[in-house]
Amino acid sequence: MGAIHVAGLTKSYGAVDAVDGMEFTVERGELYGFLGPNGAGKTTTIRVLTGQIEPDSGEVNVLETDPTTEPIETRRRVGILPEQESPPSFLTPREYLEFVGEVRNLEAERVAERTDRWAERLGFESKLDTLHTDLSRGQQQKVMIAQAFLHEPDVVFIDEPLANLDPLVQEQVKQFLVSYAAGDNAVFVSTHNIDVAEEICTRVGIVADGQLVTERSVADDGADESLLEVFLDRVEGEDARDTPTLEQLDT
């Protein structure tokens, strides 16, 4: 079945077919990249997989739970870092992580240990007791990463994990994601960043018009086409690749 399994998934908003026959399976140990242009249906798929919205049809399974019929059980087992979400402005990182720890049924001592570890790992120790409203976007993103992993879930869904982070922290987060997935967990990363997907993912699914159009895995590293070329081929069609560059137009 896989840690995450999706078959024949559809979801429309009125006349918009946001997800239209999505199919894929992610196994434990994989860092899976979900790559696609704006409006391809990535966020909608993640929202179905985390029990936030109901699909119109199709099968979904996450860690042996059905997010459409047991959304609370699914959310209990997974970590989620939604797109452009900020921690509550009126709490400090320490308070927020204590709150998340309670929701996740973790012992207070364990939460305190993990909070310190995450603050040290991502460098927000000096901000642990500062209200989020006084933190930068990048510092808030670090807290959001910490909350997603606080209960050490077997599956984590992350939308644009590196948004707003400086290059040094991006490197640390990338290494962490790679090692976390390698520890028999499934990490599902939705991104527009082809370079990052190519660098860290064990497998990449390319999404367009609500469907998975192709997949590439690290095993295809020696392939003739780069991930960017595959992306342009499948998402934009040959026309996009034939579009002349500025240099060509100059000559």
**Interface residues toward ligand ATP, by CB under 6 A:** 13, 16, 18, 36, 38-44, 83
133-170 burial, b at 16+ Cβ within 10 Å, e below that, comes to eebeebbbbbbbbbbbbbbebbbbbbbbbbbbbeeebb
Query: Between residues 31 and 40, which has the closer beta carbon with respect to ligand ATP?
Result: 40
Query: Between residues 202 and 211, which has the closer beta carbon with respect to ligand ATP?
Result: 211
Rg for the chain (alpha carbons), in Å? 19
Cα 27 to Cα 196: distance, rounded to the nearest angstrom: 20
Query: Between residues 150 and 204, which has the closer beta carbon with respect to ligand ATP?
Result: 204
Cite the DSSP H helix spans in 84-226: 93-103, 108-122, 137-149, 167-182, 194-200
CB of 244 to ligand ATP, least distance (A): 27
Cα 235 to Cα 143: distance, rounded to the nearest angstrom: 34
First-last CA distance in the chain? 54
Count Cβ atoms below 10 Å from residue 240 Cβ, excluding itself: 11
CB of 50 to ligand ATP, least distance (A): 13
Contact yes or no for 72/125 (Cβ under 8 A):
no
CB of 81 to ligand ATP, least distance (A): 14
174-208 burial, b at 16+ Cβ within 10 Å, e below that, comes to bebbeebbeeebbbbbbbebbebbbebbbbbbbbb
CB of 37 to ligand ATP, least distance (A): 7
Query: Between residues 8 and 39, which has the closer beta carbon with respect to ligand ATP?
Result: 39
Query: Between residues 98 and 198, which has the closer beta carbon with respect to ligand ATP?
Result: 198
Q: Which two tokens stand for residue 126?
A: 């000096």
CB of 212 to ligand ATP, least distance (A): 12
Query: Between residues 38 and 126, which has the closer beta carbon with respect to ligand ATP?
Result: 38
CB of 181 to ligand ATP, least distance (A): 21
CB of 34 to ligand ATP, least distance (A): 8
Query: Between residues 16 and 182, which has the closer beta carbon with respect to ligand ATP?
Result: 16
Nearest one of 87, 66, 188, 195 to 136, comparing CA atoms: 87
